[in-house]
Chains A and B, each alone.
Chain A
Amino acid sequence: MITRLMKAMKLHWVKVLFLVLICFTACDKEKALPVFGEREVVGTDTVYHTIAPFQFVDQDSTVVTNATFKDQIYVTDFFFTSCRTICPIMKTQMLRVYQATAEMPDVKILSHTIDPEYDTVALLHDFAKRLGVTDNRWRFVTGVKDSIYKIAQTSYFATAMEDKSEPDGFIHSGAFLLIDKKQRIRGKYDGTKEEEVNKLIADIKKLRREDAL
């Protein structure tokens, strides 16, 4: 009687183990990151908000456009070198992203200056070098001021504009935005908060797994 019961229980255990295994492979499928912005349904396709065409110049005088990030994931933000408020914290945190993604050739960083009159290519080059950026995985770009403000507001939903009443002359958000390989916004994080940037780094890995599927 007892041995029979034990046998039955053993069988039961095998079933449970089997179910657990199935769950690990199927039930535990990751929830995909959201896609930000408005969407339109055209026929049977959903058209998502994407980053508008842009053209800027980086710290090495290289022209940077949407094509630069073709089939690339990138993280982007808006800052200026003479800013003493939130930018240094953002750069401290972005440096963590840069270091965390060192072994990920498909992940890039794009930092826009919102003070292009002061932040020249030469100044950005010096800034990047002093920050410890040694390759073009992290591009610091400058360009036509209005184009920078426009792309910030309409493509990345980030705040960036001049305001003489502010201590440093500009208002801008400390947001880091995560852009996928289809130029869609997949995440928005507070670049002044360590925990949020931890989440960004985790989401980059998630996005890469999604791409690998």
Chain B
Amino acid sequence: MRFRIFAFVLMAMAIACVPGSKGDVKFQQYYTEGEMLYQQHCANCHQVDGTGLGKLFPPLAKSDYMDNNREAVICLIRYGIKGEVLVNGVSYNQEMKGIPTLTDLEIAEIASYIYNSWGNEEEWVDVLQATKILAACKINE
């Protein structure tokens, strides 16, 4: 009996610790924090369900732009974006101001959340990746 419990705990730990897996406790933490930050900073325009609003604010749920521009998405959370953007064949042209107060970790959390919500199933982003990407952002002012 004792052995069984021990084996179970060991198995659970093994599953939880596979790096990058969605069962990862760390991913869950990122996701939960990301959800809170998303609702605070992004949901006003992009909506709680990620569907966007008309042709004003593009959707994040099932967005080809997000699939193809992972680095740019992480950069624009901090630095914003101006000019025309094509998302799923629709043109959007409303300036989004960046949120310079967000830390690398917070941006990683938001990215992990939006890339794994509303039917999106992409790799999540940890803080090391985010820092690397953010350091290489092309800032167009």
Interface of A toward B, CB cutoff 8 Å: 81-82, 84-86, 88-89, 91-92, 95, 126-127, 129-132
Contact = CB atoms under 8 A, between A and B. Distances in A.
A86 B45 CA distance: 9
A91 B53 contact: yes
Interface of B: 44-45, 47, 53-57, 92-95, 97
A130 B94 contact: yes
18 contacts: A81-B94, A82-B95, A84-B97, A85-B44, A88-B45, A88-B53, A88-B56, A89-B44, A92-B47, A126-B93, A127-B56, A129-B55, A130-B54, A130-B92, A130-B94, A131-B53, A131-B54, A132-B54
Nearest to A87: B44
B128 to A, nearest CB: 29
Contacts, number: 33
Contacts of B94: 81, 130
Contacts of A132: 54-55
B97 A131 contact: no
Nearest to A129: B55
Nearest to B91: A130
Contact of A86 (B44, B57, B92, B97): B44
- Top 10 nearest A-B pairs by Cβ distance? A130-B55, A88-B45, A131-B54, A132-B54, A88-B44, A130-B56, A130-B54, A89-B44, A92-B53, A131-B56
A82 B97 CA distance: 9
A127 B94 CA distance: 9
Nearest to B41: A84
A85 B42 CA distance: 10
